[in-house]
Structure 1
Amino acid sequence: MPGTYNCVAIPLAVAGFVTPLMAALAMSGSSNVVVTNSIRPARRARPAPATQEGFA
């Protein structure tokens, strides 16, 4: 996805089709996606803590 984003966004920006505001919003959105994706694996089911027999 980031490679596609760069391959599309950079030529559009060079051609003048992307305003600075649009670029800032796109970068902000991209950063949010990256952070959300990095947090997601931590939210997956974690194994239950190991308990010893005879203890609660």
Structure 2
Amino acid sequence: MIGTYIRNFESSAHMAEALRDAGLTVSLKKHVFGCATSVAGHKPSALSEDTP
């Protein structure tokens, strides 16, 4: 079943895109020669970069 899950899921790229669309800053990383992926990120600060 792992092969079926891998073919159907592919990667976390769709998850990363959904988080970006929601306004989050996201980093997508591939591991184990692309066999695994991870998504990490954060919510941008409400303060603008121009604010000291």
Structure with higher strand content: 2
Q: TM-score, normalised by structure 1?
A: 0.28
Higher relative contact order (CA 8 A, sep 6+): 2
TM-score, with normalisation over the residues of structure 2? 0.29
Between structures 1 and 2, the one with greater helix share? 1
